[in-house]
Structure 1
Amino acid sequence: MKFRLIPALLILLVVVVTVRLGFWQRDRAHQKEALEAHITQFENAPAQPVSAAPVALKDIEFHRVSARGTFIADKVVYLDNRPYNDQPGFYVVMPFKLTGGGYVLVNRGWLPRNMVNRETIAPYTTPPGEVEIEGIARADASRAFELGQNGSAAHQLIRQNLDAGAYATETGLPLQSFVIQQTGNIGDGLVRDWPAPTTGVETNYGYMFQWWGMAAAALGFGLYAARRAGRKEHARGA
Structure 2
Amino acid sequence: MASTSLVRTRVQQVALVVVGLVLAGVMIGLGLWQMQVFQDQGQSGAVARMNEPAVPLAEVARAGQQITDGYGRTVEFSGTYVPAEELLIPVDGKPGTFRVLTPLRTSDGTLVPVVRGETTGATAPAAPTGTVDQHGVLLASDKEGTGALPTGQIGSVYLPVLVQRWQDPMIAGYVTLPADLAAAQGLAAATPQLPSGRGSVQNFGYALQWWVFAACALGFAIYLATYIGRAADRRRLADLGLITQDEKGPDPDRMS
Would you say the 8 A contact 1:90–1:112 is kept in 2? Answer: yes
Question: Aligned partners of 1:90, 1:122: CA distance in 2, in Å?
Answer: 9
- Structure 2 partner of 1:15: none
Residues 157-176 of structure 1, C-alpha deviation per residue, up to 9 Å, x if partnerless? 12222311221123212221
The reply to whether residue 237 of structure 1 matches residue 238 of structure 2 is yes
Would you say the 8 A contact 2:99–2:190 is kept in 1? Answer: no
User: How far 1:232 sits from its partner (Å)?
Assistant: 1.3
Would you say the 8 A contact 2:42–2:197 is kept in 1? Answer: no
User: How far 1:109 sits from its partner (Å)?
Assistant: 0.5
Question: Aligned partners of 2:234, 2:167: CA distance in 1, in Å?
Answer: 78
SS of corresponding position for 1:99: coil
Residues 50-104 of structure 1, C-alpha deviation per residue, up to 9 Å, x if partnerless? 12734534411110111111111111111113456xx740001121111233222
What letter corresponds to residue 53 of structure 1 in structure 2?
Answer: R
Question: Aligned partners of 2:195, 2:225: CA distance in 1, in Å?
Answer: 42
Would you say the 8 A contact 2:45–2:197 is kept in 1? Answer: no
User: How far 1:42 sits from its partner (Å)?
Assistant: 1.9
- Structure 2 partner of 1:60: 70
The reply to whether residue 100 of structure 1 matches residue 108 of structure 2 is yes
- Structure 2 partner of 1:162: 157
SS of corresponding position for 2:137: strand
Residues 121-171 of structure 1, C-alpha deviation per residue, up to 9 Å, x if partnerless? 234121111111110111236x69x6xx3337xx94122223112211232
The reply to whether residue 172 of structure 1 matches residue 180 of structure 2 is no
SS of corresponding position for 2:148: helix
Question: Aligned partners of 1:211, 1:91: CA distance in 2, in Å?
Answer: 44
Matches within 5 A, 1:1-238: 32=39, 35-51=42-58, 53-54=62-63, 56-82=66-92, 88-113=96-121, 121-140=122-141, 149-151=146-148, 156-183=151-178, 184-185=180-181, 187-192=184-189, 194=191, 197=194, 199=196, 213=214, 216-238=217-239
Structure whose residues are more often helix by fraction: 2
The aligned length equals 199
Larger Rg: 2
Would you say the 8 A contact 2:139–2:195 is kept in 1? Answer: no
RMSD: 3.9
Q: Decide whether aligned partners of structure 1 residues 41 and 225 sit closer, same or farther in structure 2, where only a CA change above 3 A counts.
A: same
Question: Aligned partners of 1:45, 1:222: CA distance in 2, in Å?
Answer: 54
What letter corresponds to residue 71 of structure 2 in structure 1?
Answer: E
Q: Decide whether aligned partners of structure 1 residues 31 and 156 sit closer, same or farther in structure 2, where only a CA change above 3 A counts.
A: farther
Question: Aligned partners of 2:190, 2:157: CA distance in 1, in Å?
Answer: 20
SS of corresponding position for 1:151: coil
* Further displaced range: 28-37 or 58-67: 28-37
Identity %: 15
Q: Decide whether aligned partners of structure 1 residues 198 and 76 sit closer, same or farther in structure 2, where only a CA change above 3 A counts.
A: same
- Structure 2 partner of 1:3: none
Question: Aligned partners of 1:198, 1:210: CA distance in 2, in Å?
Answer: 27
